[in-house]
Every structure is written in C-alpha cells, then in structure tokens.
Structure 1
Amino acid sequence: MIAKRFEKIGLFISLCFMVVVPIASYAQAVPTERADEARVDRLLHQMTLEEKMNLIRGGVEPEAEYQGQAGYLPGVPRLHVPSLRFADGPPGLLTRIPAQAETATMGVAATFSLRDAEQNGMVMGREARSLGIDVVLQPFINIDRDLTFARGYNTFGEDPVLTGKMGAAEIRGAQSQGVMAQAKHYVGYDTDSYNVFIDPQTLHEVYVAPFEEAVRAGVSSIMCSYNRLNGPFACGNDNTLKTILRDQIGFRGFVTSDWGAVHSVQFINRGLDMEMPGEVPADSPFAAFMHTFFRTATPAGGAPRELNADDLAGILGGSIPEEPRKQGLDLGAFPRDADPKTMKESLQDGSITEATITQAARRVLYEMDRFGYLDGKQKHIVTPQDIEANAAVIEKTAEDAAVLLKNDDHVLPLKAEDLADLVLIGPTAGQVAAIGTFGERSPGLTERQVGPLAALRKLAPNAKIVYAVDDDMTGTPIPAGLLSHDGQRGLLRAESNGKKSVDPVLDFTQTNHSALPPNSAITWKGELSVPADGEYWLYLQAIGTRGRIWVDGKELGRTGATKGTVHGDIQHASQDNGLPTTDGLDNVRRAIQLTRGAHALSVEISSDTSGAPAQIRLNWMTPEMRTANHAAALAAAKSARTAVVFLWTRDKPSFELPGEQNRLVEEVAAVNPNTIVVLNTSQAIDMPWLPKVKAVLEMWWPGDEGGWATAKTLLGQNNPAGRLPFTWAKQLTDYPATDPAHPERSAKGVDGKTTFSEGVLVGYRWFDERKIDPLFAFGEGLSYTHFEYSDMKATKSPDGGATVSIRIKNAGRVVGDEVPQVYLEAPKDRPAGVQFAERKLVAFDRLTLEPNESKEVTLRIQPRQFQYWSTSTNAWVLPAGSRTLKIGSSSRDLKLEATIH
C-alpha cells in the first residue's frame, strides 16, 4: 500500500475501532486446493447487482466493529457471505491494537532460510486471527533495484529467486493459519517513479518471477500497484493482469487495487477485480482525494470537502533533528483521477457488462469458499495474541538474520576481558531498534522491547558495562522555572469543559504518576524562557491521545494519529520517531533555532479514541546537554577496553546515516582501538570509518525481541550466519539505478519516464557484468566458524531442472549455520538479442553443523532457471548447449563448479 511511499505524496490509509473479547483460540485452518465452484455459482445467481458490487468494492465498516484495519469488504449478509477485513504489513499486522513487531522483511531475507520465512508467515497468520483480520496485505515481493526507493526496506532484496522463494514460504505460513495472503505490488513497483518502462524479457524474468512463485504457493490474492507500466496503469493493464497473470501464470484468485490506484472504471475490463478502499468515510481527509469508481448508486450528501494538506501533515511525521532534509508533502506527484465515468454510466452504455462484474465477484467468492469463510471459519472478534509462541519465532529470526560483515582479529564474540571493561554507545544500545520506521507494519509491544544493554547484563551478569547514550532521544522535562504565563509561573491549562488551572510543568505520564483521564481535550499556553541562543530539540511525547505543539505561533509538530486515516485513530508508541521514549510514549522530536528570552508556547491534546489514559510530556535537549552527552560518550570509550557503537537508520538511508553518527564512530575509533559497530539499518550505507573499526555486525530492524538476539550474537551464544540479500556498494553511483550516466533509470527519469534499461542486470548481476568490486557481495556474511566444501555433483532432472549435491563440513570449533548458494553461468553460445547475466542465483539452503560435522546437501533447481523469455516467440525457451553451475558462500566466493548438459 501507500505508507512510506507517501514520503512523496503524503498519504496513508486507514480507520478504526477496538474490541477485545477473551475467548478460546480458534483452530488453524488450511485452505483447500480448489473451491466448490457449483456453490459459488449458486450464490452468484441469487445476488443482485449491488450485492455483487459489495464483493468487489471496499466499504465503511460499522464503527462499533471497526478494528482500524486498512480495508473492509461488506460481503452479502442476506446470503451469509461474510465481510472481509484487510490489514497492512509487512511485517506483522497494523490495526488499532498493537501487535508484536517482527523482524523487518530485509532481515527475514537475510536469513536465507525458507523455514524462517514460513515461520514468520505463521506469526502473521496467528496475529491476523487474534486481531480479527481475514486478509494480510503481504508479502511485499518487489525487487530492491533502487536504493533510494522509499519502500525498498520492505523487500526481500535484489534477487528474484530469493524474493520469490522467501515470499512463497511466508504465504504458505500465513495461509496455514486460515488467513488469506495478498502478494504486492504487481508490477514494476521498484522505484519512486509512477511511470515505468520495462522490456518484456526483464519483466518476465525479474519482476514477474516472484509473483509466479506466489501463485505456485497458492496465494489468495494479488495487489496491483500505483505505477504505470509500459504505458497503462498497473491496475488497468490487460497485458500484465490478463495475458501474463491469468493466461500465462494461471492465477485464479482476485486482484485488488492498491488504495487509490484506480483511475478509471474501465480497469475492471482490463483485469482488476476489486477497488480499495472503495467508499471512504465522509469525514476522512481522503474523501477529497480518493474517488470511488466502482459505485453503482448515487452517493448520499454533497460533494466531498476540499483536500486539506493540514489534515494529512502529521500522518508521516516531520523531520526529526537527525534528518533535517526530509521533504514535505508533494500531493501533486500522486496520479489523480482521469476518467470521470461511473460504473452506473458504464453499465448503461454497455462498456461494462454485469457478466464482467459477476466474474470479478466470482473470484472473490472462490477464495472465500476455498478458505472456509463461507462455512464460518473466519474470525472477527479480537482475542489475546499468542505472545510467547510469536516471540520465539521473532527472536530466532533476528538471530538468523545477523550478518557479520567484518571481524578483524576475531574480536567477536566478546571475550571475558572485553566484558570486564565494556562500553555501549548510542540510543539503540539502550533501546532495541525494533521497527526502524513506522509504516504499514506491526508497531510492536513496547513492554517486550528489551534493549541490547539490558539483555547483555541479564545474559552476562558479571560483566561491567558502561552505557553512554550520546544522542538522548527521550530527553528531560523542561524545568518549571522556565515556563510561565502572563508573568506568573507555570502554563495556563484550559480544558474542553471550560475549567482553567495552572500547571508548573508539562509532564502528565504514568511514569510521573499523573496520567490524565481518557479522552481529555486540553490546551496549555504560556511562554518558554530560553537561557541562550542555539538549536534546541523539543520533544512532544504522548500516548493515549493526540498532541500538537506551537512555538511563537507556528506549529512545530504533531503526533501522527489522525482520525480517518492512519490505522485505528490511535497513537502508537513507535509512530513518530522509530524509537519510543524509554517509558513507552510516542515521541515527536523537532529541532528549532531559538534566541535567548521568552517564546510563546502552546500544546494541545485531543482524543485518539483508544480509551486509554492520556499521557503528555514536553521534554527537551539543550545544546549544552547534547555537547555534554557526546563528550561523556567519548570519555567512556577512551577509558574502556572495548567499545560497541550502535548505529541506526529510521527512514530510507539513501546511502547515508542520519545525524552525526559517522563522526561518532570516527571519534570513538580514534580513542579506542577495539571498536565494534552494530548496525540497525535496512539498506546499504556509506561507511567511511570501516578501516578504523575491528568489527561490523548488521542486525537490521530485528523486531521486539531483537535486543536478546543482538546480545546473544555479541556474546557468541548465537553464531551469525545471515547473508546480505543485496549488494553493498562502495559508493551510491555504483548501482545501476543511481548511475549518473543513466538518468533514465532513476526515479526522476527522463521526460517523466523511468526506464529499467539495465534489463536483467539487477543487483549483483550488474556488478559482475561491469566488473565493479562491491564493498560486500550479495550473499556475503562471516561466521564464528568456517566451512569446507567438497564432492559437488550436478544431475539433470527428468522435468528439465537439475539437482546439485555438495558435502559441507564445519571445520571450526563452534556450532554454526552455513548457507550454500548455487549460481548458474550464462550459456557459452548466447542467442542473438537475448540478455544474460554472467551468473544468477538459482538455489540456496541453510543448514546447521556441529564442530567437525559434515553433511551432504542436495539443492533443487527449477527448470525455469535454465530458460529465458523469448520476445520473438512470447514463450520460455531453453538455450542449447551445456551450462556451468557454481556453488559457494556468496556471489563472489564460489568454491566449486560442475557442468550439466
């Protein structure tokens, strides 16, 4: 869906209500291979036209039942055809009730483990059942081709085989719980551009390929994307939706539009089945933005109100102090309505027939029957989440995702002498960077989020660990002596009932034993006395309420929960800063230049419909506080034997770290020769300090249990075996999409068109073709042990595929996992006009070996991997001649090879 994509267009979608009913857990249900088609036809025969429309057009769920999910389908109650709820990820579930935060998709990809992916899918399915959701809007199986793509962090990396296999495993896991999965976004949604051109060979081999795996896995539905593809919009593209998806791949499920991606009622003739969000509540900010095309009745009321950017301004948050260059909203970038004709008019003039509507409704009913929803097997009441079972999967995934990028002198795992004199530096050392960025994902359970520092102290109770936050994201309350109103101490409080009073400080929290009643609506006004000129960081912190702050009459910031828009109308603790406060509040952090003296201050709170106690606090960090914290961190690093610096990204990194984190590492490494870096990032970043540090450990955004996983990996209780799901370049311009010599590939494109002119040479394939040395190769990752490969054999399979067998031995002293990867070389005689990568990933596995243990591993290669898409015959073709297969531990560490004929 929209989420971080709305960095450009400034939108998000959702609504909400919360009901919690403790009942016995429901049994798992696995969808059948096929539905009862006769039953489906009987139901359709009984339906009116409008009832059929209620199966293909989103609606507004009754407020008393609404769970704040992304979408709702009304169903046909008269015929006992149930409604459907659609909820965002990935990963996890986003409704008005906080769900557990799972390891970010890129971290799941880094496990190179189909078992981990399937287990994560099962967690998604269990969460959906607990929260009353029928359709999970995941997995996200687009390709990470452009590091600057705002949604790249949601992908499984740059390779179509890895993406397809991992996505299919998640689908199997989620649907094993009786919940529909919806793979997204089909297709070409691999850039911030809305106008994409991809040649047919590349389209089939790279960008459609993961969706074909999803169809093989039995995915219930597919979401089409916002962008145009080779001219038409993806949601109205009969080539991709009908010719490729239906005819060539054989997809039988339903196609849902991304929210607001329909621009003509005629899209239903071109392969689209369902419009989302469909009908929009009249009081939603999106009522002025999202047109409902699949409407057969005249809407009640007058024209929708004009779009108000202020209504949307808080949804994505603003720039935090470490990211001052964040762009504002660009509502004009999003494709707007083009065809004014309604469904009613199209039915009257015959350009759309009821038979077409019936066919779309049939596909939805087909999946409902297949999943047992027509027999009452869905669940719309909210029941307790299976916290412990889910937590075990989340922690195991975070451990398996850990990628050790550098380990000079075997500085990791930490030794006894390190633990006797250790310093941890950075806010994500004290708190786990569970989700990185709030978007279409589980917000997490703050009460479960144990930071690496606390986890290390628990797992190594005799360790002597100093903590230096450096960048204090929670701050301290503004002192009472600096707040006044009308020449008197304190801020003037005005409540919605007219009552007025004075508060000496703004700190109404459970931590301070002073939380306010639920649904409080209060304004505080007064003046803030600033002791000296400088850049002050003000932190508006809230939960159970919405908050806004003004300084000198100008709005400085607001919390992200907005009625009628973002999932649940309630404030999530992780919504606006990536990290909540240390006591679990949402944190709107802004930098502002202030001069010495008095400045007008105003703070307002209003109901977020959660019914929770309203907590509000105004904290800050002065320039002097920040300077002192940084000096304390360097002093602690200088006096410790070993320093571990934790670095983070929150938004798309575009190859850089926020704030002064690079400088921090440089300065710590200058005073401590045993400096280790732990990364909580989603993509590659520039690391100018890399030669100066001993070790680098990538932990991604690891989910609620990530603090434990990080601590165990640092201590050696977990042996890192994750592998990079993308190529880590030395510089941003090394990537094909950001190569300045090819502006047509960029999101900006040329003349408004973005052309994927690199063709099939995505990711590591480009680096191999152009002989560019990456900083770290695709599939790379170190270990605390080492492995030996021998006895490679390759055998052709009767179906045209192949099997590769290999013996792998753990030649080290500790148990560990290895990730063998098979790559197929290009044919020696390449057919004219066909593009081939020098080599491509065709199979992978992950296995655990005890010290000195060896195992024979067999990897299966699908027939399709030996073929190419012929644009002349519009078919898959097997090139003549023998092929070489290589196996190793990364795309640049290939140890053995074999030839197959």
Structure 2
Amino acid sequence: MMKPKRTCILLVCAAALPGVAGAASGQPLWLDRALPPAARAAALEQALTDEERLSLVHGIWPVPWTRPAGAALPPGAIPGAGYVPGVPRLGIPALTETDASLGIANPSNVRAGDIATALPSGLAIAATFDPDLAYAGGAMIGAEARAKGFNVLLTGGANLARDPRGGRNFEYFGEDPLLTGLMAGAAIRGTQDQHVIATVKHLALNDSETNRNFSNSVIDEAAMRESDLLAFQIAIERGRPASVMCGYNLVNGTYACGNDHLLNDVLKRDWRYPGFVMSDWGAVKATDFANKGLDQQSAEELDKQRWFAEPLAAAVAAGTVSHARLSDMVRRILYAQIASGVFDTPVKPGAPIDYAAHAKVARGVAASGIVLLKNDRAMLPLAKTARTVLVIGDYVEKGVLSGGGSSNVVASPDQTGVAMSGETQFAQYVKEQYHPSPPLAAIRARIPNATVLFDNGRNAAEAARKAAHADIVIMFGNQWMTEDSDAPNLDLPRGQDAMIQAVATANPNSIVVLQTGGPVAMPWLDRVPAVIEAWYSGQQGGEAIADVLFGDVNPAGRLPMTFPRSIAQTSRPAVLDGADLPDGRPFDVAYPEGSDVGYRWFAKTGARPLFAFGHGLSYTRFRYANLRVQAGRSPRVSFTVTNVGGRAGGDVPQLYLTADPAGPTRRLLGFRKVTLAPGASTRVTLDIDPRLLARYDTARPGWSIACGPYAIGLGSAADALTLSEQLRLKPRTLRP
C-alpha cells in the first residue's frame, strides 16, 4: 500500500512546481517528454477548468442512429464506436474510438466503403500458441487505426471461455489464464506500440451473452483471482493497456462498472493500474459509479442518463463525489494519452495502408491457428493428383464465416452478409457474414487438373448421392456465433450433423473442415478419417484452409479450449442460466468449477473429452527428452524437442503442474512454439510464473506457495503428458 501513496505524492509535487512550467525551457511541464507520463498528466490536469474536466469523462456513440433527427456529429468525430472531445487550448486531442478486436470495424457501413483487414477470430489467434503472431496482428490493427483517424481501440478481450456455448468465445483467447494473458497482452502491446490507446476488456467474468445486462456472476474471491482475474492481470502486465473496459454483468451482486472491489481494490490498489476505466456501451447505472472506480462513461446515449455530465457536476458540487476523485479520473485519462503516445504523436488520417502486406499477416495467423484434430489413414495432406473432389458446405463458394457483433470487420466491398433475426438497436450487427475468400476457389486452384464439384449441403440425401461418386469429399461444418446471443447447444445448426453423417456413410474418404466459434459435438466423428478446426479464419481464410489441406503449411495449431463429448461433461450442463427469464430480471450464474476451468474441470472429474486443451496433430512427429527442473524463487524448466518425422513443421510443447502439496491438480505452466526441420532438435527453457504454482489466500491476502513437492509434466496436450519431474519449494507469499 506504500507505493500508491508515494505515487500520489509524486503527482501532486510535479503539478505544483512554479507556473506548471519547466524551469529550464519555459514550456509547460506536460510538454516535457523527459518527465514520466504520470507527472506530465498531473501537471496537465491542474491546468484544466472544471468544465473541461467534466468534458473528458463522458462520450457519445457517434453514429447517425443515436443522433436527433438532422443533428450533425460534433466536429472531428469519426463515425464509429465512440467520441470524447478534447481540449484544443491545451493540445489534448479528442478520443476517437473504434471496435477493433479483430480489425477496424465499420458498423452498418457507417463510413461508406471503408474496409479494413480482418484477422481470424481470437480463438484462432490463441490456437497459434504464438504471442509473436498475436503481436503482429495487434500492430497491424493499430497501424490501420492511425491511418483511419482512430486513437482508441476497443480490443484485447481477456475473458475466459468458461462455457463452450458462450456467444463471444470466438473473440477471446480460450479457457486458460496463462494462455489468455500472454496472447491478449501481446496483441495489446502490438497495438499500443503504434501510438494508440489499447483497451483490455471486459473486466470481469463477462463470459456469457444471455441477458448479459442482468446476469450476476457468482464466484468466491480465491477462485476468481486464480482464473479470470489472473488472465487480466497477466494481460495488463504484458501489454500495459492504457485503458480497461468493465463489463455489462454483475459480479457477486454488484455491476462490474460500479464494482468497488474489482475496480478500486483489485485493479487500482492491488495491481497498481495507472490508466483509466471506461464503461461498456450502456453499462452505467448511476453517478456514484465514479466513486466505485469508473473513470469514463462511454456512449452516454445508451444509458438512462448522461450520468457523468450534469449529474456528476452536481455530485461534485454537493461533495458526494469529491473534487479529488474527479481530478483522479481526468489524470488517468490524460496519463493514458501521454503514455500511449496519443498526446505527443496525434493520429493523422489519410496515411496509406498496405492492405496486401496486412492480408499476409491475416493469412499467416489463420494457417498457424488451424488445428488438425484427426487424421486417420494419413488422409491429409491431400494429394494434388486427386481426380474428382466434392466440396460441400453452405456459402463455401462465397467465402469463410465470420463471427457476429461489434468485432465483425468489413474486409471487402463484396463481403456477403446474411441478415439474421433481431429487434433491438444492435440487430444491425447481427449478420452472418462471409469474408470473400472462398474455400471452393482456393481448393480448385490447388488441383487445376481435377474435377472439383460443389454442393451446398442443404439436402443431406442429395449431398450423399453426389458424395458416392467422388474420390474425396471435403465438407464444411459451420457454426455461426455472435455477441448478444449464446448457442443453445453444441450441435452444428441447420441439420449439418445429419448431413455429415449421411455423406460420410456414402463415402469413407470424407474430410470435415469446421468453421466454428468454439467447441462442437461431433456425433459423426467415428465415420470420418480427418477433421480440421479452421475457426473463423479471417479475410484470407479460404487460402489458409487450402494451405493446410494440401500440405503447403504443416498444421501446428493447438486447441485453446477443451472440446467436450457433450454438454453433460461441463460444469453447467443445464439450459443456459437466464435463458427463459424476462428482460431485466437479475439472475445468478454460479461457477461450481471455481478456478478449475476447462481442462482443469476434466482433470478434476476424470471425464474424457472429445479433444483436450492443447491437442493438435501434425504431418510430422516430435519427441521430447531430457526434462530438467530447477527450483528457486522463479523455477526454470528445460527440455529438448526433436522433429523425428519426415517434414518440417511446428510444435507446441506444453508444461503442466500435475500435483502440488495439496494433491493432484492440473494447470498450464508454460509453452513454446518451435519450428524444426526433419531431424533437427532444439533446447527449450521456460521460466514458471510462481503464481501458477500458488493458491490465492484471501486471509493474507496474496499468492501462497506451500512447502513441499510439486510434480511437473511435459507433453503435447493437457491429457498427453509423456515426461515428468518434481521440484520442492519453500513456503512464501507473493503480493496480490
């Protein structure tokens, strides 16, 4: 608790220097780039009037459908997600905000004809197990944002995928806090290195979409710290995002955007977070959210009141919100502008964008994230000498599937969008979109001498009849997922499971390519020799899928989520909580698994999944040897990886905790993506974050490492560990 107090004293002292100007240069302190961002922000905040302070803590949604009839947008506002005016007299730029989880969004073509590069889904990025690729994707998005005039990106989803039916799972990085934290942190860092503000969201436990504005996530403190909050903590440490977005839901009975414990105790006190907290769109319920840790109200038109405008001014005047708190809110926003580079290097719209280079980034991520789930009889890679190939799937002649909601990106003027049902203001976002990278065309291009036929698969009997006459069948199974709606089950919709079953019965050489937002059940799995998970593969997805099918890329993706055999194996197998409740009625979403999310739940219950977390096959083989464990305050593990197959390829050796002094457990401790030529070896060294070996102790409070033996396992998936070692640790406690 001492360091935050010293920081506050530093801010006040810096702001109080004579004339708030540098003695040597005569320029205002906030322009002195030699000073720390916190000192500059404190000086700049002191130069503001109260009216200017208030103008910085609330913003609008700058789109035509939120404006009064005939009303123009404020000067400088770019149609997009959000706008907060600046203070021109002091050089404080406006905040121009855009949705950008997977690329720069253009909702309802509000910026006519404006396209952007579309990355694959968050799960596809996570499946690469490669933070460098996440960084490259984030940097690409940040560069396009600057060129389009945006300086705040609503990106970096770090919510854990607790339920395989979650509507926004595809945006996130999976079920494990270490993987999520490292991948989200790398993406955020890549974005913010382009001198824009990056946001990590949605703090916290905003992991289901069913009546998300009224769902109450119920979980004990230790379990929350060891799972979802640890993912955010690692992402913030690695990425240093200038902003955090709170969620729509309640957490333990209190709305996330007005949750004093989450925002003040955890984020700002324990983690010493210096940036600002913005609300999600329409997530503010009262002015006193300011006292609870919220620094900025976003898209105020969506809330019942402009809580941080006139009501906040009145609260400050009455003393129910202190003037010091208002100053703190503003200092944090100014700190974010200065620390990110937005203040010193304002965006300049109109810079050229190298879309061709960015498309290569998207294609590389897509190919690296494709997971080979099954490959019996070495069906893959496909020989380019095939004579007759039947491709089956809805819209595979048009493009590859994209997830719905605020993360959807318009990558081409020719992008196909199929409107879905909906009545709310957000219904315009609910479109089943296909990026124009058709797998059918990409497959035909790889085998120009073959006859490649097509069927949309909508009639199972017709698809099976055609399949019987083909040498090889490639079927696409689509599961469209979207923000604001969870899946009712793990089935492929529109009768696709029955179609795949019928086709596989007609032709045993049938390959399934899944385009899904998360895990799906596969009742037909025993009938098909090969399955790949392509996720939502972005604007170059068709080419990336063909790269893997034909062996131009050796698959190296690994599952960032466990694929259960059925929903009955999960911790909440019943119908989704709140699904049948009327709008506005709060309800509890209990987490019986606690911190044992995903693969940890399967290890605890002994259930055998369809495919485990970390699973993924290759067209070559790898061997692990010489596992060595070095104890200490930061334990270190090393081992050798050898490519013992006949092809070059990538592998992801994974390190797990399998037992601690309290008994058996399962927790990812580390991983490393390696690429090796046939016969080549490399030595890998991994440092273990001590928090992953600890239990969170609410009484201390902090991370408590018990004295005793710890078992470490190395393998290719959470359920495929081939080497093991032990280390002994001395007891100690780490700060929260």
Sort the TM-score into its range (normalised by shorter chain).
0.7 to 0.9
Offset of residue 755 of structure 1: 2.0
Q: How does 1:227-246 map onto structure 2 within 5 Å? A: 227-246=249-268
Cα distance in 2 between the residues matched to 1:744 and 1:450: 37
Corresponding position: 1:292 with 2:313: no
Q: 2:676 matched to 1:849?
A: yes
1:68, distance to aligned residue in structure 2 (A):
2.0
Pairing 1:394–2:381 present: no
Q: Which has the higher mean CA deviation after the structures are superposed, 264-273 or 208-217? A: 208-217
Q: Distance in 2 between matches of 1:444 and 1:35?
A: 39
* SS of residue paired to 1:381: coil
| 2:568 equivalent to 1:738 | no
In 2, the alpha carbon distance for the partners of 1:129 and 1:344 equals: 33
Residues 34, 469 of structure 1: alpha-carbon distance in 2 compared, 3 angstrom cutoff? farther
Tell me, yes or no, if structure 1 residue 407 matches structure 2 residue 379.
no
Residue of 801, 815, 835 corresponding to 2:648 = 815
1:746 CA displacement: 9.3
- The alpha-carbon distance between structure 1 residues 33 and 199, as it changes in their structure 2 partners (threshold 3 A), is farther
Residue 204 of structure 1 aligns with an amino acid whose one-letter code is R
Q: Give 3-state SS (helix, strand or coil) of 1:757's partner.
A: coil
Q: Confirm whether residue 84 of structure 1 aligns to residue 105 of structure 2.
A: no
Provide the C-alpha distance between the structure 1 equivalents of 2:638 and 2:34, rounded to a whole number of angstroms: 32
Structure 2 residue aligned with 1:680, among 488, 512, 515? 515
Shift in Å, 1:228: 1.4
* Contact 2:55–2:309 (8 Å) recurs in 1: no
Q: Matched residue of 1:398: which SS? A: helix
Deviating beyond 6 angstroms after TM superposition, the runs of 4 or more aligned structure 1 residues are 743-751
Q: Secondary structure at the match of 1:670?
A: helix
Whole-angstrom CA distance in 2 between matches of 1:270 and 1:53: 17
CA contact (8 A) 1:202 1:759 kept: yes
Q: Within 1, Cα distance between the matches of 2:290 and 2:537?
A: 40
What is the match of residue 636 of structure 2? Answer: 803
1:68, 1:720 → 2: CA distance?
40
Query: How far is 1:63 from its partner?
Result: 5.3
Report the residue type matching 1:88 in the other structure: D
Counterpart Cα distance in 1 of 2:37 and 2:667 = 41
The answer on whether the counterparts of 2:654 and 2:668 sit within 8 Å (CA) in structure 1 is yes
Q: Deviations over 1:414-451 (max 9, x none)?
A: 1244x212111113432332423343332222558331
Q: Which residue of 2 aligns with 1:73?
A: 84
Rounded Cα–Cα distance in structure 1 between residues aligned with 2:393 and 2:672: 35
Q: Which amino acid aligns with 2:644?
A: A
Amino acid of the residue matched to residue 440 of structure 2?
L
**Residue correspondence of structure 1 range 387-536 to structure 2 within 5 A:** 387-417=355-385, 419-445=386-412, 449-471=436-458
Displacement of 1:739 in angstroms is: 5.3
Taking the TM superposition and a 5 Å limit, the aligned residue runs for 1:317-332 are none
* 1:695 maps to amino acid: A
- Is the partner of 1:184 in helix, strand or coil? strand
Match of 2:560 among 717, 720, 725: 725
Q: Measure, in 2, the Cα distance between the counterparts of 1:669 and 1:434.
A: 23
Spell out, residue by residue over 1:674-718, the C-alpha distance to the aligned partner (whole angstroms, 9 max, x if none).
111111111111211111111111111000001110111110111
2-structure distance, mates of 1:60, 1:847: 44
Counterpart of 2:422? none
Deviation of the 1:726 alpha carbon = 0.8
1:170 paired residue number: 187
Structure 1: runs of 5 or more not aligned: 1-31, 281-285, 297-341, 472-626, 831-836
What CA distance in whole angstroms lies between the structure 2 residues aligned with 1:747 and 1:734? Answer: 23
The residue aligned with 1:47 is 48
Structure 2 match to 1:338: none
- Per-residue CA deviations over 1:214-246 (Å, capped at 9, x if unaligned) read 221211110011111112211111111111111
Find the residue that maps to 1:108 and give its secondary structure: helix
CA distance in 2, matches of 1:665, 1:295: 56
Q: Among residues 636, 640, 643, which one is paired with 2:470 in the alignment?
A: 640
Contact preservation (8 Å) 1:135, 1:181: yes
Bigger fraction of residues in helix: 2
1:567-614 Cα shifts (integer Å, max 9, x gaps): xxxxxxxxxxxxxxxxxxxxxxxxxxxxxxxxxxxxxxxxxxxxxxxx
Task: Letter of the 1:357 partner, please give it.
Answer: L
1:136 aligns with 2:157: no
Contact 1:164 1:210 in 2 (8 A): yes
Q: Deviations over 1:716-749 (max 9, x none)?
A: 1111111111111111121112258xx9899979
- Looking at structure 2, the residues matched to 362 and 88 of structure 1 have their Cα atoms a distance apart, in angstroms, of 24
1:99 aligns with 2:121: no
Q: Could you tell me how far 1:883 is from its partner in structure 2?
A: 0.8
* 1:764, distance to aligned residue in structure 2 (A): 0.8
Which amino acid in 2 is paired with 1:451?
P
Equivalent in the alignment of 2:65: none
- Asked if the contact 2:521/2:563 (under 8 Å) is kept, the reply is no
Counterpart amino acid of residue 671 in structure 1: A
How far is 1:811 from its partner? 0.9
* 2:282 is the alignment partner of 1:260: yes
CA contact (8 A) 1:101 1:445 kept: no
In structure 1, how many angstroms separate the alpha carbons of the residues matched to 2:471 and 2:509?
7
Structure 2 vs 1, CA of residues 101 and 446 (structure 1 numbering), >3 Å: closer, same or farther?
Answer: farther
1:250 and 2:272 correspond:
yes
Give the corresponding residue for 1:826. Answer: 659
Please give the root-mean-square deviation of Cα atoms over the aligned residues, in Å. Answer: 2.2
Which residue does 1:665 correspond to in 2?
500
Corresponding position of 2:25? none
Corresponding letter in the other structure for 2:647: V
| Partners of 1:434 and 1:704 within 8 A in 2 | no
Q: CA deviation at 1:45?
A: 2.1
Q: 1:159 to 1:33 in 2, by over 3 A?
A: farther
Give yes or no for contact 2:472–2:509 (8 Å, CA) kept in 1: yes
Aligned residues: 648
> Which residue pairs with 2:615 in the alignment?
780
Once the two structures are superposed, residues 132-160 of structure 1 have per-residue CA deviations (whole angstroms, 9 ceiling, x without a partner) of: 11111111000100123222221111111
Q: Distance in 1 between matches of 2:46 and 2:78?
A: 32
Distance in 1 between residues matched to 2:534 and 2:410, nearest whole Å: 18
Residue of structure 2 equivalent to 1:541: none
Shift of 1:751: 8.3
Greater Cα shift, 751-760 or 260-269? 751-760
Contact residue 171 and residue 407 of structure 2 kept, 8 A: no
Compared CA separation, residues 35 and 370, structure 1 to 2 (3 A)? farther
Is there any run of 5+ residues in structure 2 with no aligned partner, and where? Answer: 1-32, 63-72, 415-434, 729-736
For 1:208, the equivalent position in structure 2 comes to 229
| Structure 2 counterpart of 1:621 | none
How far does residue 352 in structure 1 lie from its aligned partner after superposition? 1.1
For 1:819-865, what per-residue CA distance to the aligned partner results, in whole angstroms no more than 9, with x for missing partners?
010001231346xxxxxx71100101111011111111112211221
Cα 1:647–1:428 change in 2 (3 A) is: farther
2:165 counterpart of 1:148: yes
TM-score for the superposition, normalised by structure 1: 0.69
Query: How far apart are the structure 1 equivalents of 2:247 and 2:268?
Result: 17
Output the CA distance in 1 between the equivalents of 2:159 and 2:727.
31
Q: For residue 391 of structure 1, give the secondary structure of its aligned residue in structure 2.
A: helix
Distance 2:34 2:471 in 1: 60
Q: Which residue of 2 aligns with 1:649?
A: 479
Alignment of 1:366-385 (within 5 A): 366-375=335-344, 377-385=345-353
Deviation at residue 631 of structure 1 after TM alignment: 5.6
Task: Answer yes or no: is the 8 Å Cα contact 2:134–2:184 preserved in 1.
Answer: yes
Structure 2 CA distance, aligned partners of 1:260 and 1:888? Answer: 45
Aligned residue for 1:101, secondary structure, equals coil
**Taking structure 1 as reference, are residues 106 and 410 closer, same or farther at Cα in structure 2, changes over 3 Å only?**
same
- The within-5 A match list for 1:614-625 is none
Looking at structure 2, the residues matched to 466 and 237 of structure 1 have their Cα atoms a distance apart, in angstroms, of: 56
Give the 3-state SS of the residue equivalent to 1:826 in structure 2: strand
Counterpart of 1:213, as a letter, is I
The TM-score normalised by the length of structure 2 is: 0.84
Q: Which residue pairs with 1:528 in the alignment?
A: none
Please tell me whether the aligned partners of residues 661 and 706 of structure 2 are also in contact (alpha carbons under 8 angstroms).
no
Distance 1:465 1:211, change over 3 A: same
Name the residue aligned to 2:629.
Answer: 794
Residue 758 of structure 1 deviates from its aligned partner by: 1.6
Q: Which protein is bigger by CA-based radius of gyration?
A: 1
**Conservation of the 8 A alpha-carbon contact between 1:801 and 1:864:** no
